[in-house]
Chain A
């Protein structure tokens, strides 16, 4: 199989249970090296059947709870470079939200309809992401990225987060498939 060539060609980070350096879109660098996650950490999501082809998502520190300001998104790539996400403190409790108010969530910013970037359309008043610049799809971030208006047939993929005692927020998995990819952990998908 030609998987390695493809990975090299696209300069994807190799993910084989090792750490990943992640560049924040704002320019700040948050790098963390933490050991591989045990299998199925993210699968703890309640009431939903989660199918993970590759449970070995990287475990990456993306921000500190104490640095977050409500309504000011922090962007980061996860689980691989090129898969852009947005971490935000919604100011109201959210599904899968972390922190003392359960209001910190992270979502992919690639619209699950046709992939337009949703970086600039966060609406803090309603806690929604959208309308998407292409077809006006809009997602409710407090309801696990549900499409509340528009054309997407899937939720916006949500990043599974964990928070440490120190306030460090770690991305540990992904709910849903990021637009454009056949598998979130793309390089591994090729081996299947």
Chain B
């Protein structure tokens, strides 16, 4: 942000509008002042400016315009205008207060002079591989024609719609009216859901509203509970203006010591329950049990408002029928659960028993005069994006137990989210939906219907399904842990160190026995771990999937590269066959490149075990490799289609016209692959004229340089593979950058690969016997000079203890001739490698169990599908299920004649269809996308 030491003041006659903040759900009021940039500006006296302020103003005035509240825009008349978006001191919500986001409202609007200058001003259409601007009329005509044709040809469900529900009701009204009403498609969802379902389904099942409180309740409450919510930093103004002034004690449930948690423990007489992530249900259950033990429940409320057995018998909604319980049943359940005793809960959740007791007192202990304590229960992402249904259901049950709803100072509510409003122009057409769960119709899971080919047009409005949940403050989190910034795909554990003692003396002379024993021991070790961070948990999850697979393929996409693979030296030359199928330009091997790469973790184990047990046969039982599918910008349909054909290695049906996705899916089914998928941003290369020229220039320069080094070689000739040729702009640029990276890498090879590692001069040319062969290969096959990519680019520069960069040992020039090499490979390893998935969306991992028994593979696939079928179950890593102690808590259900939410959202449970897409693992924000798919 530019540093300013002055802000022009709006003149008294400036245009003034009242608006609400564009960011969070608190909904602070702002005043927008607009006046010509050419002036005249206001003056600092009260009569001379639109704010009526006599400058300088004092603390809490709510009339100061901070630099971040000011911007310059250009309107359609071509003139520049000053804009000031200032917190509205007359607004009852914020009273002139603002958060860091709200104070920056003006920075987010379009300005020709700021970082927002490059926002689109025209519709773009992709023509001839490039995004071209067209007129609005043309865009509307194209959309109308296309949608009309698709509807006529395929029917309403051919349209999928994903749309935003923020800003104003006016936006969702026409969208839903058009798609749910006129077009009639069941394939629709708002921006962050898998289907048209709610975010707090359990709450609506119980009969409570998601937003069931007024701001005044915060000031009247005797206790404020923040469950998985960081009110100070995420609901700034609500917290500052409507909770802090009353100084009520707080109960903060959060694995992290947030500022809100610190506030609860130091500023007011509250308590912070620092639980182990994912144990919310047990904690809530323990609190409920303690309430019942002490007889602190609000009997009057419960008797008047919870369902009787008769009510439940007459229930029609299927989820309520399934989960509902009377109060007595609920009490019996809570008292039956061993996990809910204070001692057990303390052990499971990591929260000391006395803190649970203290929290229970704060939440439910009646006042001295016998009236129930006024408790305001708030919860947010920590609860909703964890084990959604059970957690929210448990909190809803707590609300019923304490009568926290519908009375001053008492209530339950979400505490967060963006501005949202949903006004349906038409109801979701559940009758058209084809997904079911246990025989009940549920809203369609869009992505599945797209994968099935039912959807022909995907209309995305104000949403980003590709990058969903992966961006944080405009940064792509990808495989980096949101809190620690750690890359979960590095620093894989050293399995040898972990299991060597368990294996001591148990290895036999039977190779097969040894492999099975090792795998079993690894599995036991994984199961015995209790991960402390999300990154550790991911590593264990992935390792669990991979530890007993014959082939482990880690599909990546580099920043800028040709196709290449990384693998272990022992696996060569077998895996070269795989590299050939892929058309890899280079194969890189290393026993240990440092940093703990995934493709090394299992080979390391077998290698070290073999070395440590010289008398016992320990084969290299895991063929692991990282497949780098070019650069992130190489997003071209024909490359993808070509790659999708390659994994099969089956050239016969290469050109039968089968769409790539369908072929991929067929292959996946045929080979019983389990795929885990993560994602980093797709970079759609911009192809404006200027960019093209720049690229061309770069190629020319690099081409000339290369030619200078290598003698006469025409530009573009250096690209490794025929199919890449013609993609001059991308492939040649990749080759050029690969070549330059290679020369850098090559310098380091001399250091790491040569005899003398301490040799300070790494600028000598690469000297390695293999490279002579490489030269010949290169000349013969027109390979680029040394198409390596520096693997240590951003997150994992491998260095030795002395800080010197380590680079993998390079094996090049080992391409066996097609015929002979094949035969050798067949003799050596009868099963050909397979198990690739299209890797163009970024980082993809395919974990193939090629040689495990068919029965086992089938079981595993079913298990994987089954996990995804059961929406109301906790995810497999959820402690509740891992420990096998917890049953589903039955949720008490409120009687019918209670107010239902004003905007009726159809409740949903996710698809019960067998999963045919690879399971998605969002490497960001822990498991949000997997979970949200299962538990909308």
Please report A residues at the B interface, Cβ cutoff 8 Å: 1-3, 6, 45, 48-54, 82, 110-117, 134-136, 147, 149-155, 157, 174-177, 179-186, 189-190, 192
A-side interface mostly: loop
Closest partner residue, chain A, to B40 (CB atom):
A192
Additional 4 contacts, C-beta under 8 A, given A114-B64, A151-B97, A190-B43: A51-B4, A115-B61, A116-B60, A136-B263
Sample 15 A-B pairs with CB under 8 A, ordered by A number: A51-B6, A53-B5, A82-B56, A115-B57, A115-B64, A152-B103, A174-B5, A175-B3, A177-B7, A177-B67, A180-B61, A181-B55, A181-B56, A183-B7, A184-B5
Q: Is B232 an interface residue (CB 8 A)?
A: yes
Instruction: Contact check, B232 vs A45: say whether CB atoms are below 8 A apart.
Output: no
Given known contacts A135-B240, A186-B56, A192-B41, A151 and B4 CB-to-CB distance under 8 angstroms = no
Q: Is B100 an interface residue (CB 8 A)?
A: yes
- Whether the pair A52, B59 counts as a contact (CB closer than 8 A) is no
Contact with A along B36-70 (1 / 0, CB 8 A): 00000101110000000001111111101111110
Of B56, B97, B233, B263, the contact of A180 (CB 8 Å cutoff): B56
Nearest chain A residue, comparing its CB with the CB of B100: A153
Smallest distance from the beta carbon of B245 to chain A beta carbons, Å? 12
Q: Please, how many angstroms separate the alpha-carbon atoms of A77 and B506 in the complex? A: 78
Q: Pick the contact of B2 from A48, A115, A182 — CB < 8 Å?
A: A48
Instruction: Find residues 228-266 in chain B having any chain A CB closer than 8 Å to their own CB.
Output: 232-233, 236-237, 240, 259, 263
| B189 at interface, CB cutoff 8 A | no
Contacts A115-B64, A190-B43, A190-B44 given; does A49 touch B5 at CB 8 Å: no
Q: Does B9 contact A (CB under 8 A)?
A: yes
Determine the distance from Cα of A149 to Cα of B64 in the docked complex, in whole angstroms.
20
Contacts of B61 in A (CB 8 A): 114-115, 180
Known: A2-B45, A51-B3, A115-B61. A182 touches B9 (CB 8 A): yes
Please tell me which one of the listed residues B7, B104, B259 contacts residue A149 in the complex, with CB atoms under 8 A apart. B259
Q: Indicate if the CB atoms of B98 and A154 lie closer than 8 Å.
A: no
**Residues of chain A lying within 8 A (CB to CB) of residue B104:** 153
Number of interface residues of B (CB under 8 A): 43
B223 within 8 A of A: no
Q: A115-B61, A153-B98 are in contact. Are A2 and B43 (CB under 8 A)?
A: yes
Among residues of B, the one whose C-beta sits closest to the C-beta of A117 is B59
Residue ID in chain A nearest B47 by CB atoms: A2
Q: Which residue of A lies closest to B56 (CB)?
A: A180
- Among A45, A53, A114, A189: residue with most chain B CB under 10 A: A114
B752 within 8 A of A: no
Contacts A181-B55, A182-B55 given; does A153 touch B2 at CB 8 Å: no
Binding site for A on B (CB under 8 A): 1-9, 41, 43-45, 55-62, 64-69, 96-104, 232-233, 236-237, 240, 259, 263
User: Which B residues touch A176, using CB under 8 A?
Assistant: 3-5, 67
Closest 7 CB pairs of A and B: A153-B103, A183-B6, A115-B59, A180-B56, A53-B6, A153-B68, A49-B2
A151 with B60: in contact, given A6-B44, A182-B7, A182-B65 (CB under 8 Å)? no
Docked pose: A182 CA to B10 CA in angstroms? 11
B6 x A1 contact (CB < 8 A) = no
CA distance A53 to B7 in the complex (A): 9
CA distance A53 to B236 in the complex (A): 33
A155 to B259, CA, bound (A): 20
Q: In the complex the two chains form, is A6's CB within 8 Å of B100's CB?
A: no
**Contact for A177 among B6, B44, B59, B236, CB less than 8 A:** B6
For A151, list chain B residues within 8 Å (CB).
Answer: 97-100, 103, 236-237, 240
Cβ of A180 and Cβ of B3 under 8 Å apart?
no
Select from chain A the residue with minimum beta-carbon distance to B7.
A182
> Is B103 a contact partner of A184 (Cβ separation < 8 A)?
no
Q: Check if B59 sits within 8 Å of A154, measured CB to CB.
A: no
Residues in A whose Cβ lies below 8 Å from that of B101: 153
| Contact with A189, one of B6, B59, B236, B263 (Cβ below 8 angstroms) | B6
Chain A residues with Cβ below 8 Å from B45 are 2, 6
Shortest beta-carbon distance, A111 to chain B, in Å?
8
B112 to chain A, nearest CB (A): 15
User: A82 contacts which chain B residues (CB < 8 A)?
Assistant: 56
How far, in whole Å, are A53 and B2 apart by their CA atoms in the complex?
A: 13
Q: Which residue of A lies closest to B103 (CB)?
A: A153
Instruction: Kindly report which residue of chain A lies nearest to residue B239, judged by CB atoms.
Output: A135
Question: Nearest chain-B residue to A150 (Cβ)?
Answer: B100
A78 to B303, CA, bound (A): 67
Which residues of chain B come closer than 8 Å to A190, judged between CB atoms? 43-44
Contacts of B62 in A (CB 8 A): 114
**Which A residue's beta carbon lies closest to that of B45?**
A6
Which of A2, A53, A175, A182: most chain B Cβ within 10 A?
A182
* CB atoms of A182 and B59 under 8 A apart: no
Partner of B3, one of A50, A149, A185: A50
CA distance A185 to B6 in the complex (A): 8
Which A residues are CB-close (under 8 A) to B67?
154, 176-177
CB distance from A79 to the nearest CB of B (A): 9
Closest chain A residue to B42, Cβ basis: A182
Interface centre among B6, B7, B232, B259 (most CB of A within 10 A): B6
- A177–B56 Cα distance when bound, in Å, is 12
In the complex, which of the residues B44, B96, B99, B240 contacts A186, with contact meaning CB atoms closer than 8 Å? B44
Contacting pair A147 B6 (CB below 8 A): no
Between B43, B56, B68, the greatest number of chain A beta carbons within 10 A of the residue's beta carbon is seen for B56
Nearest B-chain residue to A57, judged by Cβ: B5
User: Do A180 and B58 touch across chains, with their CB atoms under 8 A apart?
Assistant: yes
Chain A residues with CB under 8 A of B8: 182, 192
Q: How far is the CA of A50 from the CA of B2 in the complex (A)?
A: 6
| Contact in complex: A189, B44 (CB < 8 Å) | yes
Please determine whether B3 and A153 come into contact, CB atoms closer than 8 angstroms: no
- What are the residues of chain A within 8 A of B99 when measuring CB–CB? 151, 153
A48-B3 in contact (CB<8A): yes
Expressed in whole angstroms, the minimum distance between the Cβ of B237 and any Cβ of chain A is: 8
Please judge, given known A-B contacts A147-B100, A180-B56, A180-B58, whether A154 and B7 are in contact too, CB under 8 Å: no
Q: Considering only CB atoms, which chain A residue lies closest to B68 in the complex?
A: A153
Bound: A192/B40 CA distance, A: 9
List, in ascending order, chain A residues with CB within 8 A of B57's CB: 115, 180
